Every structure is written in structure tokens, then in C-alpha cells.
Structure 1
């Protein structure tokens, strides 16, 4: 599914009120749309429209089939109510130019742009079969590591955009798509602009300012930085606030600003007033490193935030790396301190790793145990049964309380009782054994 960001939609964040602003500094009560909802789909020479995905105040998104290539696509078309509105038409065209300029795995690719048979500008993009991050989070059962991976992908997409001089200006969970296979796409670049002057390649393709004269505010109030709410100059640090807002929702389940009306949200956004959110972050059980990052990104003064998404992405990557190292260290300690015999073997019949208890029980050094097939240590009468259990493991089944006998380095017979599980697709077996020789005596 592809999405259009421009209009209000229900949300659990603000008492079932989400306020999307396209207006003046006086602060709207709500954003309304008076256009007819059931408008005939446009016709295209190359595409057969299947149906409407979503519509907003400025554009309508359709799902379609490409007649020339075997693929589904999403087509964003200018809303019929804006035909002849040069400012809005420029905005749609600029969105296509920005997205085509940003070639990144986490940014939806653009295939082409043009004008429909009915004279409505459009662009064609990849169809994403998935759901929004907002809906993913609303389920409330997403494992924290998956949430962190999604957030890391968002940061990587925005780090690339910032490296190309582009700022998004409407980052929020509703504008992030999570595909069926976990792929992440930052969507809805309709408010995007260049932090400085657009590069020559963009100017040569007809870039036109899409903002009407006078100070205007555009974006979603629940996630909006104070400088954006006040109509002040916007920089990459503005997007950093948006990243902090997404991380806040991942941690707490709601956006930084919570209120029961758009007017109240507007006042909160202008002052960056979020006392409940900041105290909620402090009281949450989330790792302090992520809490500090969220609060730093949500700083009132843009100069107190990381200056761009590149810095945020690096902090997230460093955290992920250190978290992996901590888990690996804990696993190593458990592996060696356990009283049981722990090992990792492969389906080819070799130990890949054994803990010290193998040496203690069997008398062989680790290097000896790893250098030879483990069947070499099993007594002849038990080799066939051991091979049979390995076959069961290779088929993805577990092995429970299997016993076989080993010849120790001292010539004695040691009976081990095993619990084992194979790792699908890895060709590895994780197993734990216990010496039960004395219980059989």
C-alpha cells in the first residue's frame, strides 16, 4: 500500500484527533476537505487502475497494473478539486522530483511522472504491500528489537536524504510503511524541500516553489518541531525532532504532544510543551541510552539536538552494536559457567564450539574435540543411533533426552543425555548434555 500524507486521519495519539496543518500562523481548529469522495478514476495509456488506496486534500493514490511490465504500482494523482491550482500541482511535481532524486532502499522509488488523459498531473511509484508503522505500533505486541530495527532503517533513510540536502518535514509513524517482509519505506515527501538551494539537476527539471506567498505552516501538529509550528527557518535539525517523535511513540505509544483539540496541539507545538511525555520517558523501562536519545532529539532549541539524521543514525548503530556485544558477552559467560555440557555442532558431524565441561568430563582438549568428527568419540554400538538423531535434527525436529556413550581420554565410558535443537537454514545444532553415568551405575 502507498499512502498520502496530506489529510487528517483517526489516531490514538490525541484523543482520536490528528491535526494536519496547511495554513497560517493563527492556528487552525481542523483541516477540512470539501471535495467529493467518489470521483471517477483517471485513465492512463500504460496503467489499468484497480482501485483507490487513499485520498487526501491534494492527491489521490490508486493501485494499478502496469501493462508493459508484470508489476503492481501505486499512482498518485492530483486531486480533481485542485485542477488548475498551480501551487498544488507544483507541490505534486516537486514531490516526484525529490523522491526520484533520493535513490535509497528505504525510500520508495519513482518509475515515471506525467499527465493523465484527463489533464491531471501524476507520478508512478512502487506499490508497497504492507501497513503503516502507526498501525504496527497500535497492535502493541511488536518485539522491541524489531521496533529498533525499523527505527534504525528510518534513520538510515533520513541520513541519506540529509546527505543529499533534502529535509522531509512530516516525519511520523503514519508516513512510514512496513512491508510484508519487514522492509521499511519512508513515504510522503509532499512537504519536502532542500535545506539550501536545490542542486542544478533538480533546477534543470523544472523545480518550482510550491508554497503560497506569506508565512505558512505545513505538517502534523502532534509531531511538529517548535520552529516549524512558529513558521521559522527549517533545517535538518527539524527532521531530527521528527525522528525523536517517532522514537517517543515507539517507547511510550503516543506522540510527543497530546491534547483533545487541534488548537491546543498547536499551542503545545509552538512552545514544545510536552511535560507528560518527558516524565513518561524518564519513567519508562526502556534502555536509558534510547531514552536520552529521544529526549535529545526533542530538545526545544534546534542547536541542542543532533544536527542531522546522520548523527542520529550513528548513535542508533552504536547502540545496536554495543547491545549485540552485551548479549554475546552474557551468552559467553553462561556458556562457560553452566554446569552442563554446552556445544554448537554442524550437520556435517563436527563440533563447532564446546564449553570447558566437555574437557572436564571427557578429558580431551577443546582443539581435539573440534578437530575430529564427534562420532570418533562415540562407542561403536551407539554410532547408528547417533546418526539417526542427527537425521532427525537436520529435518528441523528437536531431540529430547537422547542418550549415547562416549569413550573418554582415560578409556572409561561416559553416558551423556542430550537435548538438542537445530537452527533452520543455518546447518547448526545447539545442544546441551549432562553426564548421567553415575545414575546408571
Structure 2
């Protein structure tokens, strides 16, 4: 008998979706009788990016038939205990934080040259940094595609992930536009947990404080990295680092979303540090009057950027609720 049912139409995919298609040749292949584990399961390596401490490559997981990203510590850091600890912390913290904004980590080990590596999901999208730069340059597509409502939705997702991390004893400490990825299907991803603070590590605070400043002022780091640090981070951190530190950094990201400019920037790192400790940024509506920033949203931003942690939102959840209340009232106003 002929089947007269209408075929189910394929869902419209976002125009910028870069994820690979799924094929039978990858799902239905026989599993080898001699299972390959560890580094030997990966093949087809392709360079992706190189940073100051590690190399990123895409590769194929032969056991599961999928593309993954492998992050490998540089050979010259093989005897650097701090960088090894930071690398392992990033892998393990990311693996243990099971939230939609974190990148799933699949494997941790050593390669054939005894270098540390971990593999993770290959994520695609635009960073908030690239979106802001395109908008500042007048890119009409970026301005239309990533309007304020969508950017606030992304920020709320990231803040929800940070709230989850805080409840589980982790402070990210490096929230910035470069570390927030916006996917083609509306998903947000928060990257780079390598300098996260874990509550149980209080005994290592002095060592972490010294090494953190070495990393932030290293010539291989982007000069803008300190721009999103809280005053307590600039002063040295230690016991003063808590969830409100991430609130400050999220406020700095919100400021740049609203104004397309960083809250505070000096001519060099030390000047930026001095400004963060001693100066308040111009209110968003004064900094970018042409952008017609809502007053309530500007107030949320400035509260998150308060110098004194006691004057900020005391939890990330409080900041989320403030943004949600604003969005709700804005929606209700649009209906009337």
C-alpha cells in the first residue's frame, strides 16, 4: 500500500551552524575487538589555536566516531608545577561542573610525549568579544542578530552557570567577553576555568595569588585581560575572592554590551589596576548616550560594578533576578 502521508519537513537550521552532520558511517561502524583507550583512540589531528600555555587541536575520537577538541600543555611547561596544576584544575573543574554553559570534558591523560592533555566537546559560535567588535564597527548584521534582548538572554545563561558553580564551591575569576561563546542555536558557553578558585584550596591561596599576577601581566596574555578584574582581585585576592568577584566581572561584561566600551582602561596594566581600585566608570547612559540605554538596566550594571563587594548583588542569583525583572517589565510595557 502506498504511503500517502506528507513527509516531515526538515527543521530550519541557523545559517551559521558549523557543527558537523551525523552520518551512518560514523554511527553504525563495528567496534574493534581490541578496544583502543587513552591517547591511541584519537586521530586526524588538525591545528586550531595556540595560546601561551597550551595548544588546541581538533581530532577524531575513533571509538565514538565524533570530532573533539584536544587541549595539550606546551612541552616547555612540562616541569612547571603551577601551570600543570592550573591545567589539571581547568580540566577537572570543567568536568565536574555539569551545567549547560560548561563544555563537557571527555578524557584526561598524557600523550606519547608524556604531555598532559584533555579532550572536550567541540563548540562553535561567536564570542561576545567578536560580536561587540562587529557592532562597534557598525556591522548591520551583528547589530540586528545580537540585539539587546538576545545579549541579555546570553548573559542570564552565563550568570546561571556561575550561580551553579558558586553553589558548588567554585568561583570562575576570569569572566570576560572572550570567554563567553554564543552558539548558533541560542546556547551560551562559558570557557576557561583555568584560574577558578575552589574553596577547598585555601591552603594554596598565597601561591595562587602570586602566580595569578604573573599570568595576568605576562607578555603573551591579551593586554585587556585585567579589564574585567574586581578590585579585590587587583589587591591580591585571597580570602576576599568569593561569588561577588564574578558578579563584578559579569557587570563589566554587561557594561560593554550596553556601551560597546570597557568600563575602565588605562594606558598600561598597572594604570588599569589603579583605575579599577580607585575610580568608578562613567554611568552607561553618559558613556554612550546615542545607544538609549534603559535607566534601570544601567543601574543594575553600576550596582554590579560597586568597588565594595557589600554594595554589589550579594549572589549571582540576585543579579539574574534583577535582569529578569527588568526584561519582564520591558515586555509588559511593550504590550501596552
The whole-number CA distance in structure 2 between the counterparts of 1:176 and 1:237 is 19
2:300 counterpart (275, 285, 293): 293
The answer as to whether partners of 1:240 and 1:297 remain within 8 angstroms in 2 is yes
Name whichever structure is richer in strand by fraction: 1
1:70 to 52, 60, 65: 65
Task: Determine the C-alpha separation between the residues in 2 that align with 1:297 and 1:178.
Answer: 22
Deviations 1:413-432 (A, max 9, x none): xxxxxxxxxxxxxxxxxxxx
In the alignment, the residues of structure 2 paired with residue 324 and residue 148 of structure 1 have an alpha-carbon distance, to the nearest angstrom, of 13
CA distance in 1, matches of 2:332, 2:326: 10
Closer, same or farther: CA 74–314 of 1 in aligned 2, 3 Å: same
Q: Distance in 2 between matches of 1:226 and 1:277?
A: 19
Give the deviation of 1:112 after TM superposition: 1.4
| Pairing partner for 1:91 from 59, 63, 86 | 86
Is the contact between residue 90 and residue 210 of structure 1 (CA under 8 Å) also seen in structure 2?
no
Out of 163, 170, 194, which is 1:166 matched to? 170
| Aligned pairs (5 A) from 1:48-197 | 48-140=43-135, 141=143, 142-194=146-198, 196-197=199-200
Residue 277 of structure 1: how far off its partner (Å): 6.0
C-alpha deviations, 1:305-327, integer Å up to 9, x for none? 01121211122222222323333
CA distance in 1, matches of 2:322, 2:310: 17
CA contact (8 A) 1:91 1:210 kept: no
Give 5+ residue unaligned stretches, structure 2: 1-37, 136-142, 217-224
Give the 3 Å change call, closer, same or farther, for CA 77–179 of structure 1 in structure 2: same
CA distance in 1, matches of 2:120, 2:51: 17
How far apart are residue 278 of structure 1 and its match? 7.8
Q: Distance in 2 between matches of 1:89 and 1:250?
A: 34
Residue 19 of structure 2 corresponds to which residue in structure 1? none
8 Å Cα contact 1:229-1:266 kept in structure 2 = yes
State the partner residue of 1:251. Answer: 258
CA distance 1:152–1:268, change in 2 (3 Å): same
Residues 283, 302 of structure 2: 8 Å contact kept: no
Contact persistence 2:247–2:304 (CA under 8 A): yes
Match of 1:33 in 2: none
Which deviations, in whole Å up to 9, do the C-alpha atoms of 1:86-112 show, x marking residues without a partner? 211111111111111110111111111
Instruction: Pick closer, same or farther for the CA change 1:278–1:298 going to 2, 3 Å.
Output: farther
Structure 1, unpaired ranges of 5+: 1-42, 199-206, 331-441
* Cα displacement string for residues 288-346 of structure 1 (whole angstroms, at most 9, x for unaligned residues): 12101100000011110011212111222222223233333x2xxxxxxxxxxxxxxxx
What is the RMSD computed on CA atoms of the aligned residues?
Answer: 2.4
Secondary structure at the residue paired with 2:200? coil
The 8 Å contact of residues 239 and 308 in structure 1, kept in 2 or not, is answered as no
Q: Deviations over 1:11-60 (max 9, x none)?
A: xxxxxxxxxxxxxxxxxxxxxxxxxxxxxxxx931112532222222222
- In the alignment, the residues of structure 2 paired with residue 120 and residue 188 of structure 1 have an alpha-carbon distance, to the nearest angstrom, of 19
> Hey, which of these two has a bigger chunk of helix by percent?
2
